Structure 1
Amino acid sequence: MDEQGELWTADQVLALAPDDASRRAGSKLGTPGPWSGTGGGRGAVWGLCKGSGRTPYRTVVDTTGPAYQCSCPSRKFPCKHALGLLLLRAGGEVPSAPGDAAGPPDWAESWLADRRERAEAARSAGPAPDAGPADPEAARRRAERRAARITSGAEELERRLADLLRGGLAAAERSGPGAWEETAARMVDAQAPGLAGRVRELGAIAGSGPGWPVRLLEECALTHLLDRAWLSADRLPGPLAATVRTRVGLTAPPAGPLLRDRWLVLAQYDTAEGKLTARRVWLHGESTGRTALLLSFGAAGRAPQLALPVGAVLDAELRGYEGGGGLRAELVGQFGAPAPAGPPPRGGTVGAALTAYGHALREDPWLDAWPVTLAGVVPARAEYGWQLADAAGAEREAVPLTRAAQARPGLWRLVALSGGAPLTVFGECGHQGFTPLAAWSPDAPGETVPLV
């Protein structure tokens, strides 16, 4: 803990890693051996890390962001040196520099001062006015042209689905993924990346293990529903029309009111979406009780720059997006450094979680999962695999874990944390089951245990 009261555990540090390779490399550098000139204080930590060359790498982390600067050539944020330095600090191996007694070296101070100046300038300027497009008429014409291209793509996809069902699902296995990839490419040309993603999912399902025809038919039905919704968007209620626009791939800037709260960082994980890396960060507002999703992307093999310590609490402002059940938000401003974790969100029963997912489907029929917190549940082995079951109550229910969750190491961390005792678990509940993302033990309710 430094003078600002921050406390990052090793798990919280490793949750910042952009990928498994960085996590392993950073862990190897979390020992004093390669480090010299380390120090910390005033919301920062710095040090020199010996590398393969004569000159050590200069590494500094602004823990109020967090933000990272390193002289190494890595394109990952944070790099392995920043992770190693934060792990060193988590282990109490970095000396603190209280007050102004021994501030950071010049190379670290110049970068930190530049960040402070930019932050102060942004605060002084206040929120930028929404001037809108420079030429509203030209923007309107561009939007109409794109909508026409998406409509053309949706109509073509409808014909493709009709041909598939007319010829039988077995044809999908014979044709292989190449035909689907060609259709997906045409959806990209139509500027409908959401439809392209659904087409690629169809290609991945065809011939993929037992029961694939049923899963393929389900996904075909959802894709057909999205096509028809886009082609009839002018007759849909406003919120559902906004969801349809989001699902086909049209993006709009956040438009909701500013929402300031103390936000607990529940989970952070990356997924591959085509050539992009998508990072999802789940937050929970202590006062509002709202769950929010921060979504960022990294291109060309680069991890997204947004990284927050799982289990920490941020005093921050968010602004929401339309559609998608009102989950997605943008981080507008942050006030001070991340603080030690607070209590977990209030949870409910398995039945309440399933009901919440069902209600969310009314607003977004293409929703794969909905964020929920389960209270008083126990991981248990069933005939079909692992599940989370209510530990008490008149009507005890259970929800199966998804196949992906059962294949992750986080399952065994969850089982070990429980030891047969009930837990509070946050995760995503959907038609394929429940994916646990974080857990809390009654013995340490302020300690968030990441499961991804």
Structure 2
Amino acid sequence: MTEQGVRWTADQVLALAPDAASRKAGSRLGTAGPWSGAGSGEGTVWGLCKGSGSRPYQTVVDLADVTGPGYKCSCPSRKFPCKHALGLLLLWAEGDGSVPVAAEPPDWAGQWLSGRRERAENKRAGDDGGAASGSGAADPDAARRRAERRAERVAAGATELEQRLADLLRGGLAAAEQTGYGQWDETAARMVDAQAPGLAARVRELGAIPASGPGWPARLLEESALLHLLDQGWLRRDRLPDALAATVRSRLGLPAAPDGPPQRDRWLVLAQYDTSDAKLTTRRIWLHGAGSGLTRLLLSYGAAGRAPELSLPVGLALDADLSVFPGAGQVRAALGEQYAPPAPAAPRPPGGTTAEAAARYGEALREDPWLDSVPVTLDRVVPAQDTGAGDAWQLADAEGDSALPLTEAFRSRPGLWRLVALSGGAPVRVFGECGHRGFTPLTAWPEGPGDPVTLC
């Protein structure tokens, strides 16, 4: 991004938008009409956008910061980036000369930029100094006592949940349809009180299964068995191998710090998507190491209704350290030192067959029985409707006889038709998540040259 000849795609720009309304409004401003005084240089893009008032909005974007883009606009919007920053980046991404390369930014942009970079340097220096002076300041005995108290509360919650599951089986699964969601919601609240948010989330999922349609008793039994296994794993954690015990802790939602050595690589951004509930927005970013061949997951959080801070649009690559979290087969990692700003990259991850993807998920379940899916890239697959299963779709190997069904949730999204249009009956490469519900495509590439297409 510091090289002005390297441009983002429109999809990469729009992936920065905090919500759908911002994407729509920013797209309308991605033309030369409302802009004047636009320019770019040294990893910065700036311009003046005509608004409703007499004075245009001053908009500047810093693309050279290794921690991610920074935005400044004189408009009153509280969204970051605002529609003007998105429109300016879209205009710049076109590369048609509307945003020419300039020797230096105007004073109003330069002042903000220099102040931002000075604050970033001071923060890094302060963090380094704080780490050096504050080492050993924490009380390890107090931390150990807090951990022991929480472990006791979690154990009490797991024991209570075991009794609830026993009552369910004793009364028969059919009774769950009559009791309704209230009892499960109350049980989930008690798991929150026991400081076991992972148990609470799984209990809430149990409560919703009786209303999930045909076949719900089998699904309820399966999920109850997995929940029982998780309970027993915690109550007998002292008998488990260290890696499996760490997996149980993570599934219960207990805090953990990355314990693997930092691994530097050029990490290609494969996918980025958000999920939300009443309290939290969770952003998942999948990365592929060009040198290591490893796939890693970054998680970023934001308050409900607000986009998480970390944003890495698909198709970028970053030279950075990642440290993996503890747990058997763990792919979640923490982002460490970044050595250069993220920049567009052409490489694609290597792919395999649908049969290999299913086998990989099966192997991963041996290390983590509660795993919903694994990240995989499929090469030379064709989306096709499964004529024997109503409106179901699948990804079939172009040169084989195996296929993976697409998840029901994905079939209801516009991404399905983007995937079908990209393929046009020809093989494509697709990255996504493969699990017991099927395959969820997240990003696809055409057979020949072409930019990645986001599907989530």
Tell me the equivalent position of 1:77.
80
Deviations 1:143-178 (A, max 9, x none): 111111111111111111111222222332222222
> How do 1:19-98 and structure 2 match up within 5 A?
19-64=19-64, 65-92=68-95, 94-98=98-102
What are the residue-to-residue correspondences of 1:25-174 with 2, within 5 Å? 25-64=25-64, 65-92=68-95, 94-98=98-102, 101=103, 103-121=104-122, 128=131, 131=135, 134-174=138-178
Q: Is residue 436 of structure 1 aligned with residue 441 of structure 2?
A: yes
The reply to whether residue 219 of structure 1 matches residue 223 of structure 2 is yes
Task: Describe the shift of the 1:302–1:74 C-alpha distance in structure 2 as closer, same or farther (beyond 3 A).
Answer: farther
Alpha-carbon separation, structure 2, partners of 1:212 and 1:50: 56
Aligned match for 1:233, one of 234, 237, 258: 237
Superposed CA deviations along residues 343-400 of structure 1, whole A, max 9, x for unmatched, are 211111111111111111111111100000111111111122110111114xx21000
More off after superposition, 88-97 vs 369-378: 88-97
Residue 12 (str. 1) matches residue 12 (str. 2): yes
Q: CA deviation at 1:2?
A: 7.0
What's the offset of the Cα at 1:228?
Answer: 0.9
- Of 246, 253, 266, which aligns to 2:250? 246
After superposition, the Cα gap between the structure-2 partners of 1:63 and 1:368, relative to the gap in structure 1 and judged at 3 Å, is same
Q: How does 1:252-291 map to 2 (within 5 A)?
A: 252-291=256-295
Q: CA–CA distance in 2 between the matches of 1:248 and 1:132?
A: 29
**1:168-183 equivalences in 2 (<5 Å):** 168-183=172-187
Q: Confirm whether residue 349 of structure 1 aligns to residue 356 of structure 2.
A: no
Using the TM superposition, give the Cα deviation of residue 125 of structure 1 relative to its aligned residue in structure 2, in angstroms.
Answer: 7.1
1:78 Cα shift?
2.5
State the Cα distance separating 1:207 from its structure 2 match. Answer: 1.4
Q: In angstroms, what is the RMSD of aligned CA positions?
A: 2.1
- Structure 1 residues 251 and 437: alpha-carbon distance in aligned structure 2, compared to 1, 3 A threshold: same
Output one character per residue of 1:81-107: Cα deviation in whole Å (capped at 9) or x when no partner: 222221121123642334xx2x22333
Question: Whole-Å Cα distance in 1 between the matches of residues 231 and 249 of structure 2?
Answer: 11
Percent identity over the alignment is 68
Residues 6 and 337, structure 1, Cα contact 8 Å, conserved in 2: no
Aligned to 1:406: 411
Look up the match of 1:310: 314
Cα 1:231–1:86 shift into 2, 3 Å: same
1:421 to 416, 426, 429: 426
Residue 40 of structure 1, CA deviation: 1.5
Q: Secondary structure at 2:284's aligned position in 1?
A: strand
Contact 2:325/2:333, CA 8 A, preserved across alignment = yes
Aligned counterparts of 2:345 and 2:257: Cα–Cα separation in 1: 30
SS in 1 for 2:255: coil
Q: Structure 1 residues 388 and 366 mapped into 2: Cα distance closer, same or farther (>3 Å)?
A: same
The separation in 2 between residues aligned to 1:189 and 1:79, in whole angstroms, is 39
Q: Are the equivalent residues in 2 in contact too, given 1:401–1:433 (CA < 8 A)?
A: yes
Please identify, of 409-418 and 56-65, the stretch whose mean Cα deviation from structure 2 is larger.
56-65
Structure 1 unpaired stretches of 5+: none
Report the AA paired with residue 9 of structure 1: T
Change (3 A) 1:57 1:150: farther
Asked whether 1:205 is paired with 2:209, we answer yes
Aligned to 2:377: 373
* SS of residue matched to 1:326: coil
Say which SS state the counterpart of residue 154 (structure 1) adopts: helix
Please list every run of 5 or more consecutive structure 2 residues that lacks an aligned counterpart in the other structure.
Answer: none
1: distance between equivalents of 2:46 and 2:180? 52
Change (3 A) 1:400 1:174: same
Of the three residues 319, 334, 340, the one matched with 2:338 is: 334
Give, as a single letter, the amino acid of the residue that structure 1 aligns with 2:253: G
- CA–CA distance in 2 between the matches of 1:125 and 1:261? 26
Letter in 2 for 1:114: G
Shift of 1:49: 3.2
Task: Please tell me whether the aligned partners of residues 256 and 322 of structure 1 are also in contact (alpha carbons under 8 angstroms).
Answer: yes
Q: CA contact under 8 A between 1:8 and 1:309: conserved in structure 2? A: no
